[in-house]
Structure 1
């Protein structure tokens, strides 16, 4: 579910257009930030989540910080986390619901941050609230919609969620409001966006192109494996790798 098996960037963009567009926006806004052109600097500053400006009525700043980042590492880690956790949800929810869930969690996290920390001097950028919103949806599935997620991926979600919460409160410089409230927003949004959601299945099993265009599933996907065989060991390795990567991610994002 969280292991990418697309054969090329073109294939990834084709399968997950919303995730791809968001990542492209991340890259574009980072370029705008680093290129020393006054117009670019003004555009970037118009998007930063500055509470002083929000107090003055610039409410678009609840949305725009979701697409901005403080530096290259910040942008890369958030984009990488979206590559890991966004595609499965985009496939399960559909493009419209996924975008609504992603932006909804991010915006609600930013609004909650504004009211809970209304200091005029506070400012923030980053997709962390929206990404934690995705975790909120996954955790909701683990608890209430077990039919939508297999046990192995449920364990991955649980481990990463625990690591994320721990790092939120021990790592300095992190906007804990955005993380916690983004997660809460995703959890609240989940029952609405998961209505009619499809169970996840790898894209290589998505469709056999017969005349009837019927979608066919891998019949062995949901069979419970009782012990680790040679085919299972790489999956365990990937769990460890992903957990370590996310640990690094959460130690870096603001």
Structure 2
């Protein structure tokens, strides 16, 4: 299922959302300029390696991506859901919320795989936090989704709680299955997604702008 747009109009220009997207692409373009050995060194230095990590790597790993598909998928989802969440938080609170969810996502991954020496990169844990917040903040929203069925594609408007709830369930199920796979067999940090989504659901209220009377 490919989400195309939601039906919740933005209220203000999402400055922080666009700043995060721009920073991610700037870092990715820098990655593209590196030879393979230097890129691997970058991932091991600034990615999140559970068995040997620094505190800063919980943040820096969220601005690294492994491929065009990786970064486009993450940034597209942030574009779809981030503006509405930022509307309710304001630009500064949104950035702090985004980073907090990324840290908790990374911590969840480290807790599940404490001995892993594989670097984890990507904004998907922080993004999952934004999706978790959206899941509770906009229960009546709907998402226009492109659904492939064999050789045909269908446009279907799905309630956001169904789309995001199904996504969260698939991450939990995939993460559970991955627990029984050899280390390195799973290329996706599913438990980081689960941790980020849960963090977004729990923490989002702490970052909302005060409501004026």
Return the offset for 1:88: 1.0
Cα separation, 2, equivalents of 1:47 and 1:86: 25
Residues 4 and 158 of structure 1: is their aligned pair in 2 closer, same or farther, counting only changes over 3 Å? closer
Return the offset for 1:125: 0.7
Q: SS of the residue aligned with 1:189?
A: helix
| Aligned twin of 2:32 | 34
| Aligned twin of 2:131 | 135
Cα pair 1:29 1:67 within 8 Å, conserved: yes
Is the aligned partner of 1:159 residue 2:162? yes
Cα pair 1:93 1:197 within 8 Å, conserved: no
Mapping of 1:1-254 within 5 angstroms? Answer: 2-3=6-7, 15-36=13-34, 41=39, 42-54=41-53, 58-141=54-137, 149=138, 151-153=140-142, 156-168=159-171, 169-170=173-174, 173-194=187-208, 196=210
Structure 1 residues without counterparts, runs of 5 or longer: 7-13, 142-148, 199-254
Cα separation, 2, equivalents of 1:119 and 1:136: 28
Cα separation, 2, equivalents of 1:103 and 1:186: 11
Question: If the length of structure 2 is used for normalisation, what is the TM-score?
Answer: 0.73
How many pairs were matched up?
181
Return the offset for 1:22: 0.8
Residues 131 and 31 of structure 1: is their aligned pair in 2 closer, same or farther, counting only changes over 3 Å? same
Residues 4 and 165 of structure 1: is their aligned pair in 2 closer, same or farther, counting only changes over 3 Å? closer
Cα separation, 2, equivalents of 1:15 and 1:106: 23
Larger RCO, structure (CA 8 Å, separation 6 or more): 2
Cα separation, 1, equivalents of 2:83 and 2:27: 22
Residues 87 and 165 of structure 1: is their aligned pair in 2 closer, same or farther, counting only changes over 3 Å? same
Q: SS of the residue aligned with 1:126?
A: coil
Return the offset for 1:52: 3.1
The CA deviation string for residues 96-139 of structure 1, in whole angstroms up to 9 with x for no partner, is 11111111111111012212210142321111111111122123
Cα pair 2:62 2:121 within 8 Å, conserved: yes
| Aligned twin of 1:237 | none
Which structure carries more strand by proportion?
A: 2
Return the offset for 1:192: 1.1
Cα separation, 1, equivalents of 2:174 and 2:113: 19
